[in-house]
Amino acid sequence: VWGGRGGGGGADAAGLFAPRLCLALELKPSEVHARYPDRFASVADVYRIKRNLLDRLRRSPEIRRFLA
For the chain, the domain total comes to 1
Q: Give residue-wise pLDDT tens across range 6-16.
A: 444 455 666 77
Q: How far apart are CA 5 and CA 27, in angstroms?
A: 25
Query: Is residue 2 in some structural domain?
Result: no
Query: Is residue 23 in some structural domain?
Result: yes
Question: What's the full length of the chain, in residues?
Answer: 68
Q: How far is residue 61 from each of residues 1, 6, 38, 48, 65, measured CA to CA in Å?
A: 8, 21, 34, 22, 6
- Say what the pTM is: 0.70
Query: Is residue 60 in some structural domain?
Result: yes
Query: Is residue 33 in some structural domain?
Result: yes
Q: Give residue-wise pLDDT tens across range 21-54.
A: 887 788 899 999 999 999 999 999 999 998 998 8
Domain span at residue 43 reads 11-67
